[in-house]
Amino acid sequence: MKCVYKMGLGLPRGQKIIIKLDTRQADIWLDYEEMVWRVKIDRDLPETSYPHLENAILSAETLLREVP
């Protein structure tokens, strides 16, 4: 399965990334107050935070593929 990436979407470029895999979606955005990247999956999974964008993207991809 291939992930589709979208950036921006109403925010200045680089502040939000949307990753889609089939019908599932993960939102990644920069939290300026704590200076971390937050990841929210469309399911009832808890919101997670990461210090680097690469970690957030890899985590989101893994969760989309592995968690039913």
**pLDDT digit string (tens) for 1-58?**
688 888 765 656 667 888 998 888 999 998 888 999 999 997 778 999 999 999 999 9
Amino acid 11: pLDDT: 58
Model-level pTM?
Answer: 0.81
Amino acid 67: pLDDT: 80
For residue 53, give Cα distances in angstroms to 1, 22, 25, 60, 68.
22, 22, 17, 11, 24
For residue 52, give Cα distances in angstroms to 19, 40, 49.
16, 15, 9
Amino acid 36: pLDDT: 93
Amino acid 55: pLDDT: 94
